Structures are given as structure tokens and as C-alpha cells.
Amino acid sequence: MVYCKKCVYPIISVNLEIGEDGICSSCKTFEEFNSLTSYDWEEKKKKFEIIVEQIKKNNKSNYDCVIPVSGGKDSYYQTHKIISDYKLKPLLVTYHGNNYLPEGDFNRDNMRKVFDADHIVWGPSVEVLKKLNILGFEKMGDMNWHAHCGIFTSPIIIAAKFKIPFLIWGEIPWDISGMYKANDYPEFSARVRHEHGLRGYEWQDFIHHKDIKILEKDMIWAKYPSDEEIVKLGIRGIYIGNYFKWDPNEHSKLMQSLYNWKPLEGNFQRTYRKISNLDDRYESGIHDLLKFIKFGYGRCSDHASKDIRTGYLSRDEAIKLVMKYDHVVSDDLYYWLKYIGKDENYFWKIADKFRDPRTWKIKDGNWIKENVDGSISSYGKVHLTPDEIDLFNKKNK
Amino acid sequence: MKKRRLIPVLLIKNGMVVQSRNFKEFQKIGMVKTSVKRCSEWGSDELILLDISRENKYDLNRDDLNFVNNNSFIDIVLDISKSCFMPITVGGKIYSLKDIENYLVSGADKVAINTSAVLDPKFLDLASKKFGSQCIVNSVDVKLINNKYIVCINNGSEVSSYELKEWLKISEQNGTGEIFINSIDNDGRGNGFDLELINLVESNINIPVVCCGGAGKFEHFLEVAEKTNVDGIAAANFFQHVDQSVFLTKKILYEKNFNFREPRFLKI
């Protein structure tokens, strides 16, 4: 496995490019943004202010914009910018997938107390959610498909219903894989939602199953508005990260002091950061363990790579953290299995089907892979049937 | 009356759609299948699909997606042409008449030829005689060197011996049906099209011309429509930055009374 020389990302990371110089596209995009001068940021800010003027000029009686929020530090930062700095009246929209941690619950509900903003919290029934967890896990090795879909779909549905032409998103996908440059100003799109958020699956893929019954009526929060409707209302999704410097560690400090935003009280088992993913207990837990099971890297690699770039960690420190955290099987696995009524064997039998042959090999009935420090380790027993092992070895060639 | 055309370009590198800057720097942005579907839904007049992979490797790098992982460019063409509602020009790595035939039977309406044509202009002649010049596009990449437009080959990595004007004449004489002109200097910069270059091509040739390279905002398309007579305006990166991009661009051109089709969405 080839790793970026600067951060700890393997080449198998989603949409990553590693150049001839051995540096990944995510590091390069970060560098580009980091080298922007105060003049550049001033220009970017002006561009945002043109949009704000446009919103103010055209709207007298409606919400000025939708802000999709989970209640995380970034949600607070977006809302803070929009209300305190630009005096707009946003409508906050939250997808609720029933995965909140207690701190996340507090932060979400606290938003209406600390900000002057109306708030819609929307999500499927827990009964439907349990079914979606099972189907997502079995189809694509991800119990959280419903969350990606809800987060990327429910805000634009609400925007269309209330005829609100602007959605203010936070960070841009470039931070993860370096897809864009500072002057691209990408906007939210159905394409990015469909392939990066939903991995090519739509709500239609979840109804009419023979054993698990979900109706079209259960998936209204997942139905993306039509192009005609979006264009008629002039709806655009803007990423605030295009216009203002994005530093999650700084944001979280600021939001704690201004609005009593709360980080995790204890520790995550799979990463050292305490400021991310409080809205979803599995996001840093087993959802992310599945990323490790599939591709051999996990949330700690994401956080450590970001923290190398912003100068919070050296690469050596980061490697030590990755070796400590990326493979950990966290306790939320048992919470989840109880939630959906299955046993641990069920989890591993299905999870193992998603091991990527670009990362994994089978040796003596165990899964082995190369690590970021160059060593090779074994990561537990193979749970596949002989036929499935044959198929895996065939793919491996 | 002939309408002018608005054409999204998809650059495919190792199986995925990428953004390109000066033919040198690339950023993966997503799946070919979704981009083709979106371009169709936006009512694009045509699609240009170029394989710019340096090595012969096509892989989505993961298997857990609801997308077919095609391991060759021809498989990609076959896959997307099933749900493509606009004419497709396919280019990249065309070395023989057999290559052209393979693309044409896999769903391509036209093929774009670059390096093979420059290395042997007779190839254009043979190709247009066998398949008809209406489906033979000569893709021409140029770089401004010492104030002269020089034709480049092999993904812009090599300078040929031809100056642009000289090459255009040869290309037209050998039966090329259309020129797809791209500025390597402007590629991915987003600072606007090279209008001088486009006009130079236009005034030296009698076949249709499609221009590319430099689109960064809607106004850049208006500029080309107004200041040149080019038949088609194409862009790659730009159309990936905002949703409904092709539709919105066409709407602006149409509303300013330029000779483009009325914008419309297709239901697919």
C-alpha cells in the first residue's frame, strides 16, 4: 500500500490522488488554502458578502437561508457566522437518525436557546431506522447510509417546501480528498450527494425487499427535489468553507466559549479527538470500523492527517496514534447489535465480505495487511465461507 | 439553420472523472456514470468523453459502491452509452481503424483523434474515408510558445513540429470533419477562453470548430458566443462546480438571443 509522504493517508482513501512527488491531493489542497494571503481571504469574504446582499435584497418575508445542522461545532460556526456576523434569519434543519450521543443531544437542543433561529428536526421512525440500518449494512457495509442520505436530502426538501433559495453548508469535500481548488467555488450538487454521500444508492433500493418491509411513504425525507423545481426556485447550496478559513480545532474552542458547546466528556475508543461526530455514535465507532475493515484505515487516520496539516501533530506522532486506534473494535458494536436484534457473528460474517483485496490478504485463516509504519499485522480471524474465500482470492489476483 | 452547441467534456483518468489544470495536475471528482447521467438530464447538446489515463489502469479503487467497476475504457463507453441521451464523441488512445470501429460500435457517435493524426496525417484520411468525415474529430491541443501556437501531442507532454495554422490546413485536407481546439495554457485556470486562438482557428478552416479551455464563470461563455463564430463551446471542470451547470449556461446564452437550443431538462 502506498501512503502519502506527508500525512497518513493510504492511496485507497476515497478519491485520493497521490502525485509523483508522493504527496496526496488532500495535502496539496490544504497547502493551497494555507498559502492564501489575508488579501485572498478578504477577496473571498467579499464574494460571500455579495451572496448575502443578494439574499437580503430579494427576501423580505421568508427565512433567508437553510442551514443544515447536526449540532456539531461546525453547525455552530455556520450559524454563528450567518446570525452574528451577517444578521440573517436562517431556518436550521437537522436530520435525526437516532444515533446521537448525550453530548450531541445537548448541543443540538441548545442551538435554539443560544441562536435566534427556528429549527426543524426531522427523521424516520425508529422502526424504519432499524430496518434501514440492517439493509445499509448488508448492501454496502454501512449501517449509516440513512444518515448520509438524510443529511444530504432533508435540508433541500425543506428549502424547496418553504421556497428558500439558499442552503449554507459548512466544510467542502476537498478537505477529505482534495477534489477542488481554492478558486473552484464548488456548490452542493445532486451528483456529489448521489455518489459521495449515497454511494450510488437511492431510496428506491430500500423498498420492496422480500424480508424487510419499507414503503415509499417511509422514505419521503430521502426524495431529492427535481431539477425543474430547484431551478425554478433558484436554490443553491453554498459551502461557507469556500469563503472563510476552516480550522475545526479553532472553531470548537470559539463555540465552547461563545455558546457553551460541549465536546465529548469521556474518550472515543477509535480516535483521540473529542470534538467530532457527537451527532452519531457510530460515526467514529463501528461505521468507521467498517472503513478499516474495508480499506484498512480509519477515523484516527482522518483526524491525524488533518492535524498533521494544521501543525497539531508530527507525522511520527500521527503514526503512533493510527497504530493505536484505527483497528479498535469499539463497544458501540454491542449497542448496535442490541438495537437491531442481531448477534456478533452476524456482524463479522457480513463485514468480512467487504474486505478490499487492494488492502487485505488471508494468511492461515487470518486477515493481514501492511500498516502505515511499514509493518505487517494480523487483524483477526476470517469469517467467510470457503466459497467466499475463493471469491476473495480470485479478486485479489 | 444550424444551432450552436454547448458541450460538457468528461476527462477520464484511470476510470474516474478528474479535473485538469494545464494538462498536468489532476483531481479526482467522481463517477463517469453519474456525470454522464447529469449531463443528459441537463439537456447537453453533446458529450465529449476523453480517456486521459497515462497508464492502462481503470479502477474505482473500491467495490462497495452501487457502480460497476469497469476495467477498461471501452467497457466504460459501453456502460455509459446505455443511459446517454446525447451524441458522444469519444477520444484518447486511438491508434488504429480498429480502435475507431470499437468505439463506434460501443456507442460513440464520433471519435476524437489527436496524437495518431499528428504523427501520421494519412490516418485521418483513412479514417474519414472508412467511417465518414462526419464522425472524425481532430482534437488539437496547443501551447503558446514564443508567441506562436504550437500543436502538442501525447496529453500535451510533447511539442510537435507543427504550428497551428499549418496543421489545420493538413488536417482539413485529410478529411477531418470537425476541430476540437483546446488551449493547454488556459486549461483549468478558469480565467476565460483564449478568444484570439478560437478566432485564429475559425478563420483558417471551413469545418465546424468546438473550443475548450478556460471556462470559469457563465460570462466566459457569453464572451465566446459574442466574439467568435465557433460552432460549439465546451468545458470540463467548470460544469462540475455547480449543479444544473449546463442547463444554466445554456439558459443564459439562449436568453441573450444567441443561436443555441432552448434549455430543457430531460427525465431519465
User: pLDDT per residue over B136-162, tens digit each?
Assistant: 999 999 999 999 999 999 999 999 999
* Residues in chain A closer than 8 A to B26 (CB atoms): 17
B contact set with A (CB within 8 A): 16, 18-19, 21, 25-31, 34-35, 38, 41-42, 61-67, 190, 216, 237, 240-244, 247-248, 265
DSSP labels, A301-364 = HHHHHHHHHTTSS-HHHHHHHHHHHTT---THHHHHHHHHT--HHHHHHHHGGG--TTT-EEET
Contact B38 A190 (CB under 8 A): yes
Predicted confidence band at A58 (pLDDT cuts at 50, 70, 90)?
A: confident
State the pLDDT confidence band at A258, using cuts at 50, 70 and 90: very high
B12-36 residue pLDDT tens: 999 999 999 999 999 999 999 999 9
B-contacting residues in A 77-136 (Cβ below 8 Å): none
User: Across the A/B interface, how many CB contacts are shorter than 8 Å?
Assistant: 106
CB contact under 8 A, B28 and A12: no
Is a pLDDT exceeding 60 seen at residue A174? no
Question: Does the CB of A228 have a partner CB in chain B at under 8 Å?
Answer: yes
- Check if A230 contacts B (Cβ < 8 Å): yes
What's the half-sphere exposure (Cβ side, CA atoms, 13 Å) at B194?
A: 23
ipTM for the predicted complex comes to: 0.93
Q: Across B94-133, where does the E strand assignment appear?
A: 110-113
Residue contact B64–A179, C-beta within 8 A: no
- Residue B10 and residue B72 in contact, taking contact as beta carbons nearer than 8 Å: no
The DSSP element (H or E) to which B138 belongs, if any, is: strand B136-145
C-alpha cell at A379: 487483524
Residues of chain A in contact with residue B16, where contact means CB-CB under 8 angstroms, are 15
Shortest Cα distance, chain A CAs vs residue B116, angstroms: 27
Interchain proximity B38–A191, CB inside 8 Å: yes
Residues in A closer than 8 angstroms to B25, CB to CB, are 19
Per-residue pLDDT reduced to its tens digit, A143-158: 999 999 999 999 999 9
- Rounded to whole angstroms, the Cα distance separating A274 from B73 reads 44
Q: Please name the residue that has the C-alpha cell 457510530.
A: A282
Which A residues in the span 163-202 are in contact with B, Cβ-Cβ below 8 Å? 177-181, 183-192, 194-196, 199-201
Question: What is the average pLDDT across A54-66?
Answer: 93
Chain A residue at shortest CA distance from B239: A186
* Residue of chain B minimizing CA distance to A13: B61
pLDDT band at residue A19 under the 50/70/90 scheme: confident
Q: Is B231:B209 a contact under the CB 8 Å cutoff?
A: yes
A194 contacts in B (CB within 8 Å)? 34
Minimum distance, in Å, between the CA of residue A180 and any CA atom of chain B: 7
Residues in A closer than 8 angstroms to B21, CB to CB, are: 181
Distance of CA A129 to the CA centre of its chain: 18
**Edge-to-edge strand order for the sheet containing A366-370?**
A361-363, A366-370, A376-381
* Cα gap B95→B73, rounded to integer Å: 14
Write out pLDDT tens, residues A29-49: 889 989 999 999 999 999 999
Distances (CA, A) of A271 to A116, A289, A307, A349: 34, 11, 12, 25
Compute the distance between CA of residue A36 and CA of residue B79 in angstroms, rounded to an integer: 41
Return d(Cα A214, Cα A134) in angstroms, integer: 12
How would you list the strands of the sheet with A90-95, edge to edge? A118-122, A90-95, A65-68, A166-169, A236-239
CA–CA gap between residue A90 and residue B116 (Å, rounded):
57
Interface test with B, best of A32, A175, A194 (most B CBs within 10 A): A194
- Chain B residue numbers touching A183 (CB-CB < 8 A): 190, 216
Which structural domains are found in chain B, ordered by start? 5-255 (3.20.20.70)
Adjacent-strand bridge partners of A275: none
Is residue B194 within 8 A of residue B230, CB to CB? The reply is: no
Residues of B whose CB is below 8 A from A177 = 28
Residues in chain B: 268
Residue A73 has pLDDT above 90, yes or no: yes
Average pLDDT over residues B41-61: 95
Residue A253 near chain B (CB below 8 Å): no
Band the pLDDT of A175: cuts 50, 70, 90. Answer: low
Q: pLDDT by residue (tens digit) across A322-365? A: 999 999 999 999 999 999 999 999 999 999 999 999 999 999 99
Structural domains for chain A = 25-33+264-396 (no CATH), 36-242 (3.40.50)
Confidence of residue A208 (pLDDT cuts 50, 70, 90): confident
Counting residues of chain B whose pLDDT is more than 90, the rounded percentage is 97
Q: What is the pLDDT of residues B152-188, one digit of tens each?
A: 999 999 999 999 999 999 999 999 999 999 999 999 9
| Closest residue to A15, CB basis, from B25, B28, B35 | B28
Question: What is the pLDDT, as a whole number, of residue A18?
Answer: 86
Q: How confident is the model at residue A173 (pLDDT cuts 50, 70, 90)?
A: low
Chain A hits for B62, CB-CB cut-off 8 Å, are 12, 14, 294-295, 356, 358
CA-based nearest residue to A65, from A154, A153, A148, A163: A163
Measure CB to CB from residue B28 to each of A179, A227, A354 and give the nearest one: A179
Q: Which of residues 357-396 of A touch B (CB under 8 A)?
A: 358, 395
Does the pLDDT of residue B102 top 80, yes or no?
A: yes
- Per-residue pLDDT reduced to its tens digit, A74-84: 999 999 999 99
Q: Which of B149, B126, B125, B154 is nearest to B139 (CA)?
A: B154
Give the residue from A166, A231, A293, A391 with the most B CB atoms within 10 Å of its CB, the best one to mutate: A231
Distance from CA of B57 to the nearest CA of A (A): 14
Active site residues of B: 141
Q: What is the C-alpha to C-alpha distance for residues A110 and A91, in angstroms, rounded to an integer?
A: 15
Inform me whether the pLDDT recorded for B203 exceeds 60: yes
pTM over 0.90: yes
Contact A159, A369 (CB under 8 A): no
Task: Report the residue of A145, A175, A227 to disrupt the B interface, i.e. the one with the largest count of B CBs within 10 Å.
Answer: A227
| DSSP-based helix, strand, coil % in chain A, nearest 5 | 50, 10, 40
